[in-house]
Amino acid sequence: KVDSDRLWETIHSTAKWTDVSRSPSRADDIRTAGLSRLTLSNEDKQVRDWFVQTTESLGCKTFVDQIGNIFAIRPGLSNDDVPATFVGSHLDSQPSGGRFDGVLGVAAGVEMLRVLNDNWIETEGPVGVVNWTNEESAKYPISMMGSGVWADRISLQDAWDARSVHPGSPVTTAKQELEQIGYLGSVPASYKDGIRLGAHFEIHLEQGPKLEIARQAIGVVEGVQAYKWFTVTITGRESHAGTTDFSNRADALYSAATFITMVRDVAKSLGGLATIGMLTVSPSSVNTVPGEVKLSLDIRHPSDEVLDKMVRTIQSESQTLASAATNTAQGRHHLTKITIGMKEDFSSNAVKFSPEAIRCVEQSAAHLLGDETKIRRMTSGAGHDSVCTNMHCPTAMIFIPCKDGVSHNPNEWCEKVDCATGANVLLHSVLRMDKL
């Protein structure tokens, strides 16, 4: 059994490596302080150093790969050629994120190592804990970047070249920052030539309200919905706010507003989700009609086919919007022309986790909880590093409830007892898989 207090302490003590400048007023109450630890920041370096020191002190060997993923491996009884059964998640956060998203998974992995050591347990094969780089993609907008490179679904070069987008900070590439914080490793970032994974288990807060509403303790995650990210560029024409009649305007921001309401309508009609999380206006002057807007579009659906349909519908509705916004009256066309372009940045198909790994989770949960009604099979709305590991090794996930279903918010909260229950299921899932 995990030590509930110790796990809780790990989660909250590592939260001191946070950028306090982002939420200073709330920093004294752990229920609302949240966490601001953008990937590859100084705070991320500090928590990485902690991770390496802690896992090494617990008897692991650590390996840093070329994209900064850190693998800590505890030897098993068999020879070293057997790939380890891993627990993994991420220590980076959203700009104003919560204390559990990602951190719970890594902390539960460290807790697993401690329980194994305390109880002199030797596993058949090695077991490990992995901290994946830039899962959040808040700074470098490539989702699940570190695990994606490892899984060979993102090229190392594309990830190295990713440019930071966080407003108010200078633009850097991921490679520059890996070097800067000393985590540009030499191990190939590859499931083939680098660290091999025998299996991957991840515990995470649900980030949605289902478990809480149903008063259930454990979600056995069967898979992850599909999602795609786009950069949308809307161009109009800069003009004077006081002298340009509406009939002479090509207002890129006004068209962006109609685009934003349109995508929500499309998503609703197809039963999916759509979010515009980033938007910048140019030239950004109070008395100038905007000439260009760039925005991010995140769309999701459990079905790949419906997601594709969502893309096609949004694309064609965009063209309708742009034409409707352009005033074609005599001589006005070039003054009022609106264009809308969409560039796909990222795509993740719907994922089904490994039946074998799911079984390990489900049996452990049933065994530990002794009450099937507390357990729910479910699909994840969010992407996780497990999406990438699932391409190359048996993978499954464990969800625990979170308050109000809230995540990506400093108010994100999980109860201590739920963290411990989930961490126990994780520990036992790893041990079951190790036996297999």
Secondary structure element (H or E) that encloses residue 368, with its range:
helix 355-369
241: three-class secondary structure by DSSP: coil
When the beta carbons of 120 and 286 are compared against a second copy, the nearer one is 286
**How near is the Cβ of 17 to a second copy at its closest, in Å?**
18
Q: Is 248 in the site for a second copy (CB under 8 A)?
A: yes
When the beta carbons of 34 and 109 are compared against a second copy, the nearer one is 34
186: three-class secondary structure by DSSP: coil
Whole-angstrom distance, CA of residue 217 vs CA of residue 303? 27
| Cβ 129 vs Cβ 89: under 8 Å | no
Which residues in 194-213 contact a second copy (CB under 8 A)?
206-209
Residues in a beta bridge with 61: 73
**How near is the Cβ of 77 to a second copy at its closest, in Å?**
40
Whole-angstrom distance, CA of residue 131 vs CA of residue 198? 16
**How near is the Cβ of 7 to a second copy at its closest, in Å?**
23
When the beta carbons of 74 and 301 are compared against a second copy, the nearer one is 301
| CA separation, residue 158 to residues 89, 141, 234, 275 (Å) | 22, 11, 25, 24
**Angle between helices 4-13 and 416-435 in degrees, nearest 10:** 110
What end-to-end distance do the CA atoms of the chain give, in Å?
A: 21
Among 426, 385, 401, 433, CA closest to 224 = 385
Q: Is 238 in the site for a second copy (CB under 8 A)?
A: yes
Site map 146..175 versus a second copy, x via CB under 8 A? -------------------xxx--------
**How near is the Cβ of 192 to ligand URP at its closest, in Å?**
25
**How near is the Cβ of 8 to a second copy at its closest, in Å?**
23
**How near is the Cβ of 104 to ligand URP at its closest, in Å?**
11
Q: Is 260 in the site for a second copy (CB under 8 A)?
A: yes
Q: Is 281 in the site for a second copy (CB under 8 A)?
A: yes
Residue 170: Cβ within 10 Å count? 6
Site map 283..322 versus a second copy, x via CB under 8 A? xxxxxxxxx----x-x-x----------------------
Residue 316: Cβ within 10 Å count? 11
Q: Is 326 in the site for a second copy (CB under 8 A)?
A: no
Contact positions vs ligand URP (CB under 6 A): 101, 135-136, 143, 240-242, 287, 382-384
Q: Is 65 in the site for a second copy (CB under 8 A)?
A: no
**How near is the Cβ of 227 to a second copy at its closest, in Å?**
6
When the beta carbons of 74 and 384 are compared against ligand URP, the nearer one is 384
**262: which residues sit within 8 A by CB, 6+ positions away?**
314, 317, 318, 321
Among a second copy, ligand URP, none, what binds residue 32 when CB lies within 5 to 8 Å by partner kind?
Answer: none
When the beta carbons of 87 and 382 are compared against a second copy, the nearer one is 382
When the beta carbons of 101 and 177 are compared against ligand URP, the nearer one is 101
Among 48, 43, 151, 85, CA closest to 433 = 85
**How near is the Cβ of 111 to ligand URP at its closest, in Å?**
20
The dihedral through the CA atoms of 55, 56, 61, 64 has a sign that is: positive
Q: Is 266 in the site for a second copy (CB under 8 A)?
A: no
